[in-house]
Structure 1
Amino acid sequence: MAAAPGGRAGVAAGAAGALRLAVAVRPADALGFRLAGAPVEAVAPGEEAAAFRRLLGDAEVGVLAAEEELLRSVPERLLARVRERGLPVVLPFALPRRLGEEGRGRAYVAALIRRAVGYGVKLGSAGGGGAT
């Protein structure tokens, strides 16, 4: 499918591989993601709703990785709309705030897997373990 006016591709084009990842974080957290090559939306306090409207309206974004703190500031109706559409998939994550602290996303990822495959899994730690 050809890109629509304004450079937006339809969902059918996404099925052919045109969908991309976007990351939404606070400006102070953006550098690491940029160094990793991820397209980053640095969202200042008070700009959450506008930034998420822009990101959720971009037909080329297939996965939106968003820091949990930002999601708490996004109006629920915006998040409900994206859940109804199915795209982009919003993947919340938590950044560790202290040395040695793990992010809090492990339980969320386990819940996503359980919902997707219909089976509960135990995610292993960095030292070992695995799915059960």
Structure 2
Amino acid sequence: MKIMKKSDYDSNSEAEAIRSLSEDGDEMRKLNYYLSKDNQTKWKKIPQQNVRTRSCNIITHLPGPIKEKRTATTEIASLNSFLDNTTIVSTIVKYTNISIDSVKDNFSRERYALHTDPIELQTFIDIRYIT
């Protein structure tokens, strides 16, 4: 590392360098964009105004449960509002009974592989959800 002496210091060259930097800075201030480090990407200094929001970004309804599902006070009441007997529970019961039929020959007693019903399944779900 070279130590600079006062005699090696040239104030004219430093002043010239500062002047050129200042001129470059003045030119950049006149432009309406900033130039990134890669000297290619331009960033606007003033944000675009009066831009219309795309229709896909407009929220038309609030997220979350609707109607009676919103008034559920417990976890079980909330779960039961989604699991109604006519659709989901009956589908689960149907496919559970099919599965029981496929494995009931593996059991020594018939009572170990009885079919289930919607009430039994709902009770099972409620107990599992509570614990």
TM-score category by the smaller chain? under 0.3
Larger radius of gyration: 2
Greater RCO between the two (CA within 8 Å, min separation 6)?
1
Please identify which structure carries the higher strand content.
1
